[in-house]
Amino acid sequence: MNTHRIGLVVPSSNVTVETEMPRILGAHPDADFSFHSTRMRMHQVSPEGLAAMNAQRERCVLEIGDASPEVILYACLVAIMVGGPGEHQRVESAVAEQLATGGSEARIRSSAGVLVEGVRALDAKRVSLVMPYMRPLAERVVAYLEAEGIEIVEWRALEVADNNDVGCIPGDRIMEAARSLDLTGVDALVISCCVQMPSLHLVDAAEKEFGLPVLSAATAGAYSILRGLDLPVTIPGAGSLLRSDLD
């Protein structure tokens, strides 16, 4: 069985993506994966903190390129979305171009882009969100997704500014926020619009409770990685998006 090498570019204070992504992909029946990270300094999830973090991108891309990954995930959704509509395409192209100068053919994904991809894969037109961000940043996430043609019906922002604290948000608080949403006529629920807010353990239970597809930034990332590697999209216990190949 081949081992596929996955690169992760993550905020320095993020501990969740390196936990949830191996857990999801480790359940794949036909492939093995190894995970290799590089970090950008960031603690406060604010426009200033995100801008300072993004300025470290080129260094991190050079570092992760040395590990020769097949796929690289730029794993900070809001850091991309604050750049305005279409920013995930610009960043993914810039990273691919930078890597290509060193001879790397790694496939590039971003958490912002994979969430859009995952929602579209579910053919979800009307979506509701749960996010950890402060309200001004949450509003920019909503605007970003709506610019991609996704109608955001309702959303909840838990308003946690410290990224270390985001990684400790309890599942009960996330589910309470989800239960406060009117999900009538909604096609899908994004239960964590952030790769740092833990939610993998909630996805299946939320699908059963709410009776609709539930995804997260992490499950969308796993979906896009598998598609990029031309592997079957079949992972147990991670929601409808990863239950079967949707093509």
Instruction: Indicate the pLDDT class of residue 1, thresholds 50, 70 and 90.
Output: low
Residue 6 pLDDT:
96
Number of separate helices (H) and strands (E) present in the chain: 11, 8
CA distance 91 to 46: 19
Residue 45 pLDDT:
74
Residue stretches of the annotated binding site for substrate? 14, 76-78, 133, 163, 195-196
Instruction: Return the active site residues.
Output: 76, 194
245 part of a folded domain: no
Convert the pLDDT of each residue in 20-33 to its tens digit. 999 999 999 889 99
With the C-alpha atoms ordered 51, 117, 13, 172, is the resulting torsion angle positive or negative? positive
Q: Are residues 224 and 106 in the same domain?
A: yes
Residue 247 pLDDT:
45
Domain with residue 101: its CATH number is: 3.40.50.12500
Residue stretches of the annotated binding site? 14, 76-78, 133, 163, 195-196
Q: Are residues 104 and 179 in the same domain?
A: no
Q: Which domain holds residue 121?
A: 114-216
CA distance 67 to 7: 8
Convert the pLDDT of each residue in 98-147 to its tens digit. 888 878 888 999 999 999 999 999 999 999 999 999 999 999 999 999 99
246 part of a folded domain: no
- pTM above 0.75? yes
Mean pLDDT of the chain: 91
Return the amino acid letter for 182: D
226 part of a folded domain: yes
CA distance 184 to 76: 30
44 part of a folded domain: yes
